[in-house]
Amino acid sequence: MIFESHAHYDDESFDEDRDLLLSSLPQKNVGTIVNVGANIRSSCMGLELSRKYPYVYAAVGVHPDEVECLEQEGIEPIHSLLGEKNVVAVGETGLDYYRKEGTAYKAVQKKWFLAQLELAAEAQKPVIVHSREAAEDTMELLTQFCETHPQWEKRGVIHCYSYSPEMAKQYIRMGFYIGVGGVVTFKNAKKLVETVEKIPLERILVETDSPYLSPEPFRGQRNDSANISYVLQRIAEIKGISPDEAERKTEENGRRMYGL
């Protein structure tokens, strides 16, 4: 079945039909969902969803655009959530330089990215890395962290990958997986298509980032995990394999990375 490695069903866009939608997904061949936190509130809500649905698991963390809440509350709320049953990863965390610039803002993002990496290493859980327009800093920080924490075996995934095939291969050598979602179906996704072509299928996780980044032919509409079938179809085309094989291998990859 489909392994959805990254969704946000705590998002307000699901408020009117969340339970109906989540209840319907197993009948649409979705077998496992990891609901990913963007801040402390959404991390808590993801945990609640994991308690309600046996096929939903939670990742807890604070998105780089939300780190101001950590400046106020500190990292302890996330640390506490990591001990809960069904919490399988730290994230999403990382660096995002798209909306704001400036040395001070970047320094705050790096501070809390490192703090969440420390939590992941301590708990021996994978990390879900968000990186937007921050390729060099993300690579530098993760390289240094992995070198100084060789005991951290789980590593994690570079979510919604958007950089070069060469950088993807470097992340794979470090032990990371590459997250591929609806963007791979877009006509202008040449770099991601090339990345999928050049990296091993054994290191690809499929995701939606629901409610965002719907694949063709639903681009611009609210996304949900059933649409991963379109992502798998495109990956299969690129790799010259069947969609069933792409589904089977990416499910194995997801279970391996998240320890399920």
Rounded percentage of the chain residues whose pLDDT exceeds 70: 99
Model pLDDT, residue 102: 67
Per residue in 160-214, pLDDT tens? 999 999 999 999 999 999 999 999 999 999 999 999 999 999 999 999 999 999 9
Structure tokens at 48: 């609640």
Per residue in 127-163, pLDDT tens? 999 999 999 999 999 999 999 999 999 999 999 999 9
Model pLDDT, residue 111: 96
DSSP notation for 179-218: EE-GGGGSTT-HHHHHHHHHS-GGGEEE---BTS-PPTTS
**Domain residue extents for the chain:** 2-258
CATH code of the region 2-258: 3.20.20.140
pTM higher than the cut 0.85: yes
Structure tokens at 52: 């309600």
